[in-house]
Amino acid sequence: MMASSGKKQAFGPMAHGIISMLGAPHVPADQIGGSDARLAFLGVPYDGANVCIGRPGSALGPQGLRIASQEYFSWSFEWDVDLREAYGLVDCGDTRIVVGNAERTHQNVEADVTKILTGGAIPIAIGGDHSLPIPCARALSTFLGEDKRMGYLAIDAHMDAGYSVDGEKETNCSGVARASELPNVRPENVAIVGVRGSLNPREWLDLIRERGISMYPMREVKERGVEAVLKDALDRVWDGTDGVYVTWDTDSVDAAYAPGTTEPEPGGLTSHEIIDAARIIGERGFTALDNVELAPIYDLSGITGKLVWCVLAEALYANAKARL
Ligand SMILES: [Mn+2]
């Protein structure tokens, strides 16, 4: 449809057909290689590795984010970038979940993320609980190869440095522990931003200190500002590395701005700050990205889903402007 100016009209029906991320076409992960996609969303509706916290619900995260994304257009006046045009955006749908088995579910995630990477697209994985970066970072590590180096940035209220929980190693609080064990990840290229509160047991801090991982607690973010801290953290994860995995836990945001998460924590980033952080990360670049622990069942006004979409979109707009 043409607008009166003669240009293609953007204000058409926003949501129609099958609900996908931003209404993007559905392209299965194994067909990314034959498509023009440069960025692919992958849903992982799984919260079965949730061992550290009391509330389920993040399995509905991908569905919730797809619905929230329907509220937005793909073009932003602030960036003059159209996400669907810039990235040939697609939605791979959801990874096949193996009920009751985190390892086999993670194998499926790893296979799908590997297909997206080898197909030439940036994977954006949507959880699901915070075990999600374990298979995703493993896929990126293997994709880069042992002769290349990889950085890992976590934005999270929690250190997630649990070596194991009751013998389980692929849990929602082990992401940083597993990432820092990957063969081409050096601990000095691992950084965590936004940690706060006493849901962080002593042994997690011990592991972080023993391995030499950088942590920027929320108190430091408040004192120095999100821009200064993010720039330091990005300098570390990009120092001598060939790719960076970014994992973003919704609970890094203050509970007042992001109630729709499994473990809402007070005293976190404001919505302004997390959007700024996304812009800074997008400008510096990322090789793969996730969002985890969005739990629509606690998101009574739908604001958390909208925030998660806006933050991801900001990172993608900034990345497109800087390098596409
Ligand atoms: Mn967390």
* Domain chopping of the chain, boundaries: 21-323
Quote the pLDDT of residue 115.
Answer: 98
Ligand 1 mean position to 201 CA, how many Å?
A: 13
Ligand 1 mean position to 253 CA, how many Å?
A: 10
Ligand 1 mean position to 286 CA, how many Å?
A: 20
pLDDT tens digits for range 29-88: 999 999 999 999 999 999 999 987 678 999 999 999 999 999 999 999 999 999 999 999
pLDDT tens digits for range 227-253: 999 999 999 999 999 999 999 999 999
Contact 144, 102 (CB under 8 A): no
Ligand 1 mean position to 132 CA, how many Å?
A: 12
Q: How far apart are CA 172 and CA 154, in angstroms?
A: 13
Ligand 1 mean position to 27 CA, how many Å?
A: 30
Ligand 1 mean position to 71 CA, how many Å?
A: 26
Ligand 1 mean position to 157 CA, how many Å?
A: 5
Contact 153, 191 (CB under 8 A): yes
pTM above 0.85, yes or no: yes
Ligand 1 mean position to 36 CA, how many Å?
A: 34
DSSP string, 226-268: HHHHHHHHHHHHTTT-SEEEEEEEGGGB-TTT--SBSS--SS-
Q: What is the CATH number of domain 21-323?
A: 3.40.800.10
